[in-house]
Amino acid sequence: MENEPDTQPDQFPSEKSWEELAKNLVRAEMMKRGVSFAKLPEMLEQQGVFDNEPNLRNKVGRGRFSIVFFLQCMKALGADWIQIPESIEEGAAKGGAQTLAKKKIPPSD
């Protein structure tokens, strides 16, 4: 058939893998900075985002949030550089947040 991709859809990360990666990226940045879910609402308030600890735990725990929320979290946490792992599955795996938190941030210029 014309215009069909050469690869099968199951060769790509699942939507669930992307959600797990998103969750783990936020959690990794929190770990790097020693920020708990109890502290995160205070930090987000400085960005004009008002939410409470249980809601933030649920939102991050699901891994289903907007890019706007993701960027607000990264800004609140002071992240100015985010590394997306080459292997989405590795970053999405159980313990992925810990793995991502251990990654070295590239040196400043």
How confident is the model at residue 48, as a pLDDT? 95
Closest CA to 101 of 20, 26, 31: 31
Domain ranges of the chain: 15-102
- Write out pLDDT tens, residues 34-83: 999 999 999 999 999 999 999 999 999 999 999 999 999 999 999 988 88
* Mean pLDDT for the chain overall: 88
d(CA 39, CA 52): 10
